[in-house]
Amino acid sequence: MLTAVLEVRRPRFAQGDREVRELLEQALTHCDGVAAHAFLVRARRLVGVDARKPVAPNALNHWWEEIGVYIDRHLEARINVERLAAISGHSVSHFHRLFRERSGIAPGTYIRQRRVRRAQELMRMPKARLVDVALECGFADQAHLSRVFRQVVGMNPRAWRVACSHFERIDG
């Protein structure tokens, strides 16, 4: 009986949850921007969001972009949620709630993902050393970068770099 109740309360895309997760992981780890976008479009269709329609604007838009710009400009430094909340004009707890509603993830998770994406950009340069990439992206050291990178991407930085170089040789 309890499982029947839980099945009814699940969102309509819960059955495709695994497939959506896999598509999002592929989009995040894929080196080619066009292919990554294609994975995202497929994932959005699976969850019932029309990929051609933009997300409806809401009251969060006025500070959402400011938060993104601030995070991107300060990736190498310590970014605290108190500062982000101040930028948004909300209390820390209210900011957490609004941020999670808007992005689907916590601010700390978002910051880690942005740092990993920046690291991926830097790692495309063949001569970039991982220790330098780590420090430039706000990680304490190379081991910290490797640990977070593996959590976010699903493979270590070296394996990702090898995979990217393989794709770039095929494409280019």
pLDDT at 10 over 50: no
pLDDT at 14 over 90: no
Query: Residue 144 contacts by C-beta under 8 Å, 6 or more apart in sequence?
Result: 134
At 35-79, the pLDDT tens digits run: 566 666 666 676 665 544 444 445 556 788 899 999 999 999 999
Is pTM beyond 0.85 here? no
Sketch the domain layout of the chain as residue ranges.
1-54, 55-171
Q: Tell how far CA 119 is from the center of its chain.
A: 12
Of residues 11 and 81, more confidence is placed in: 81
pLDDT at 22 over 90: no
- Per-residue model confidence (pLDDT) at position 91: 94
What is the Cα–Cα distance from 38 to 89, expressed in whole angstroms? 35
pLDDT at 144 over 50: yes
Least confident window among 40-49, 129-138, 150-159: 40-49
Tokens of 138: 């706000």
Tokens of 111: 């910051």
* Mean pLDDT, the chain, integer: 78
Helices (H) and strands (E) counted in the chain, each on its own, are 10, 0
**Banded model confidence at residue 139, pLDDT cuts 50, 70, 90:** very high
What is the Cα–Cα distance from 136 to 144, expressed in whole angstroms? 13
| Architecture of the structural domain at 55-171 | Orthogonal Bundle (1.10)
- Per-residue model confidence (pLDDT) at position 3: 36
What is the Cα–Cα distance from 128 to 98, expressed in whole angstroms? 37
Distances in Å between the Cα of 139 and the Cα atoms of 46, 133, 150, 156 are: 34, 9, 13, 15
